[in-house]
Amino acid sequence: MRPTPINFSKVRFALALGLGASLAACTVDAPKSAAVPAVLAGAANVGVPGLEPITRRLTPEQYENVIADVFGPAIILGGRFEPEMRVGGLLAVGSSAVSMTATGMEQYDVMARKIAAQVVDESQRKMMIPCAPAAANAPDDACVAKFMGKVGRLIYRRPLTQTELAAYVTAAHAATEKAGDFHRGLSLSLSAMLSSPKFLFRQETLEPDPRNPGTMRIDAYAKAARLSFFLWNAGPDQALLAAAESGALNTAKGLAGEVDRMLASPRLETGVRAFFTDNFGFDEFALLTKDVVLFPKFSPRVAADAQEQTLKTIVDLLLKNRGDYRDVFTTKKTFMTQELGAVYRVPVINDGPNGAPDAWQPFEFSADDPRGGILTQVAFTSLHSPPGRGSPTLRGKALREVILCQKVPAPPAAVSFNIVQDTHHPIYKTARERLTAHATESMCTGCHKIIDPMGLALENFDGAGAYRTTENGQPINTSGALDGVPFDGAAKLGQVIHDHPATSACLVNRLASYALGQQLPAGDAWLKDSTAFFATNGYRLADLMRRLATSDGFYRLKPPAEAPKAQSASAASAQ
């Protein structure tokens, strides 16, 4: 006798939205027009930063990292992620303002089903599932509870409540009875968990802070998640969750111990890479195109290597050698592949130690070489250039906004860029001449004064990042000044950026905003204190990350504005 067909999409949809009452009947339809409730999608988080806990959607990388941690790196996701949004220069901040469309929810459901199917597959189940059912064709609630409780702790970043666990066990039980297959029923329940907003969104829970009456803090499990996504760009591991469960994470000693453990882990590199990838806008490489006739050496492989070159340079200097953050703008040390070497016009031997093949080789430019620091690397110069030329304006704008955290106004709608874009202009041969002519328009002068001088210092690099000394047969003038400090050429510009006080302050601001998922208000005392600490302690990134992660300000919040004052006061006094 064939088992009764079961509508798995109905059950998954019910579980994902927490409709536990409809699980046993398996009759909840998943309408195509349904969307995740706004409160779960972060729509209610728009407001004054730093006042309330926020809800953030997992980034694609965070989703991938959690799945790999829980089920292993061999799991294939097989789906598309919802588009991200950049706010305040960071996708991490935009993650608290994005919602979930019906189409996006369907894609997450597709991924959840594919992941769950791989977990329960006959070739994987003995390694993935900590128990075997009493019968392969019958429910086994104890085995389901054991498995779902174990993985649910990591997926939800906290222990499942009894109600949640019972709902998943009930769903697996009902599905198994109708499908006649234990593992198919378990797969259904697991896929529902993986498409739940409780997994896809990081929701932070408030509690009164007993050490600071009148203020609030996030609870221990939310604290663990904030720590792990900040330092590792992944969910909390078992040790961090145990520290949250025991209460150790709410003590200064316990918190410091966990932060030090995480900073000492090789996984810190993953977290640092995630921050700088977001901070530098490397996601925009997915849309970057170059004129293949003008720049034949630039290819998708070069674009990928360029990003990796910058990240390897940063990791080597800031983590492995615990260097001064400001030195990323002046260092002559980097890494090369043969493909990058062709763009830089330097020889790269594709051999590692003892003759072992290695695509990446350490490389150091000579002291008198005009190249040095990440601003002269292909990742920066190519990303901030149009397809067919370089762009002093785009590069200068990126320097102001990304490196110095200084907002540059958008150009007027009616402005004409014809002169700037005409690289074969009969009169204005160089970018400096074209920009000078363009900036004579009164509406353009103000902005170009603050961005063009820095961008012109990088004019020795064409739209693909290759070095040159002339344009249209004319020598390139790279002199200028940044906030009254003169320079000539990219190397001198790097030194001026290195010494500019806004450079280190911007890094602290961006790192804190990235970790907290929101922009901090101007003049924030905690941010100022962190910036002073960064300078006093040699501008070392790991020390700054530790300072942020162990400070009360990293977790303390004010009561929500809509909460009744009497209720907030009584809650605080109860501690």
Predicted pLDDT of residue 450:
82
Q: What is the mean pLDDT of residues 456-467?
A: 94
For the CA atoms of 59, 64, 65, 71, the dihedral, rounded to the nearest 10 degrees, stands at 150
Please give the tally of structural domains in the chain.
Answer: 4
pTM of the entire predicted model: 0.86
Q: What is the pLDDT of residues 149-199, one digit of tens each?
A: 999 999 999 999 999 999 999 999 999 999 999 999 999 999 999 999 999
Q: Quick check: is 571 in a domain?
A: no
Q: What is the pLDDT of residues 220-264, one digit of tens each?
A: 999 999 999 999 999 999 999 999 999 999 999 999 999 999 999
Predicted pLDDT of residue 98:
87
The answer on 57 and 102 residing in a single domain is yes
Indicate the residue type of 101.
Answer: T
The answer on 286 and 155 residing in a single domain is no
Q: 3-state secondary structure string, 156-175?
A: CCCCCCHHHHHHHHHHHHHH
Predicted pLDDT of residue 168:
97
The answer on 546 and 442 residing in a single domain is no
Q: What is the pLDDT of residues 297-352, one digit of tens each?
A: 999 999 999 999 999 999 999 999 999 999 999 999 999 999 999 999 999 987 66
Q: DSSP for 178-244? A: HHT-HHHHHHHHHHHHHTSHHHHEEEPPEEE-TTSTT-EEE-HHHHHHHHHHHHTSS---HHHHHHH
Predicted pLDDT of residue 20:
37
Q: Quick check: is 563 in a domain?
A: no
d(CA 525, CA 510): 15
Q: Quick check: is 562 in a domain?
A: no
d(CA 158, CA 566): 30
For the CA atoms of 513, 518, 524, 528, the dihedral, rounded to the nearest 10 degrees, stands at 0
Lookup: tokens for 82: 């919802």
pLDDT of residue 1 exceeding 50, the answer is: no
pLDDT of residue 109 exceeding 90, the answer is: yes
Helix (H) or strand (E) holding 333: strand 333-336
Q: Treating both helix axes as pointing N-terminal to C-terminal, what angle do 252-264 and 268-279 enclose, rounded to 10 degrees? A: 80
Predicted pLDDT of residue 437:
67
pLDDT of residue 549 exceeding 90, the answer is: yes
Q: What is the mean pLDDT of residues 195-216?
A: 87
Q: Quick check: is 513 in a domain?
A: yes
% helix, strand, coil for the chain, step of 5: 55, 5, 40
Predicted pLDDT of residue 186:
97
Lookup: tokens for 252: 């200064």
Predicted pLDDT of residue 24:
34
β-bridge partners, 480: 487
The answer on 347 and 251 residing in a single domain is no
β-bridge partners, 557: 216
pLDDT of residue 285 exceeding 50, the answer is: yes
pLDDT of residue 74 exceeding 90, the answer is: yes
CB 470 within 8 A of CB 476: yes
Single out the residue in 244, 272, 300 at which a domain terminates. Answer: 272
The answer on 22 and 46 residing in a single domain is yes
Q: Helix (H, G, I), strand (E, B), or coil: what is residue 114?
A: helix
d(CA 155, CA 145): 15
d(CA 535, CA 544): 10
Residue 484 is given by DSSP the state: T
d(CA 463, CA 472): 14
**Mean pLDDT of the residues in the chain:** 85
Share of the chain above pLDDT 90, in %: 67
Predicted pLDDT of residue 520:
86
The answer on 213 and 199 residing in a single domain is no
d(CA 112, CA 106): 10
HSE at residue 472, side-chain half, CA atoms within 13 A, is 15
β-bridge partners, 57: 201
For 72-104, give one letter per residue: b (16+ CB within 10 A) or e: eeebebebebbebeebbbbbbbbbbbbbbeeeb
Predicted pLDDT of residue 465:
96
Single out the residue in 499, 517, 537 at which a domain terminates. Answer: 499
Q: Regarding beta strands 333-336 and 361-364, do their DSSP bridges make them parallel or antiparallel, or are they unpaired?
A: antiparallel
The answer on 436 and 294 residing in a single domain is yes
d(CA 230, CA 503): 21
d(CA 446, CA 466): 30
Q: What is the pLDDT of residues 404-436, one digit of tens each?
A: 999 988 776 666 566 666 666 666 668 777 777
Beta strands in 61-194 (DSSP E): none
Q: DSSP for 339-366? A: HHHHHHT-------GGG---S-EEEE--
Indicate the residue type of 336.
Answer: M
The answer on 454 and 439 residing in a single domain is yes
> Cβ–Cβ contacts within 10 Å for residue 560, how many?
13
pLDDT of residue 206 exceeding 60, the answer is: yes
Q: DSSP for 424-466? A: T-SS--SHHHHHHHHTTSHHHHHHHHHHHHHHHTTTTB-TTS-
Q: Quick check: is 54 in a domain?
A: yes
CA pseudo-torsion sign 484, 489, 491, 492: negative
Q: Quick check: is 315 in a domain?
A: yes
Q: Quick check: is 158 in a domain?
A: yes
Single out the residue in 484, 499, 514 at which a domain terminates. Answer: 499
The answer on 150 and 40 residing in a single domain is yes
The answer on 369 and 296 residing in a single domain is yes
Confidence of residue 99 (pLDDT cuts 50, 70, 90): confident
Structural domain boundaries, residue 68: 8-203
Q: What is the pLDDT of residues 15-72, one digit of tens each?
A: 544 433 333 333 223 323 333 333 333 333 322 334 467 899 999 999 999 999 999 9
The answer on 301 and 237 residing in a single domain is no
Q: What is the pLDDT of residues 381-412, one digit of tens each?
A: 999 999 999 988 899 999 999 999 999 887 76
The answer on 301 and 281 residing in a single domain is yes
Q: Quick check: is 346 in a domain?
A: yes
Confidence of residue 555 (pLDDT cuts 50, 70, 90): confident
d(CA 79, CA 112): 9
Q: What are the distances in angstroms from CA 391 to CA 293, 303, 311, 435?
A: 18, 18, 23, 10
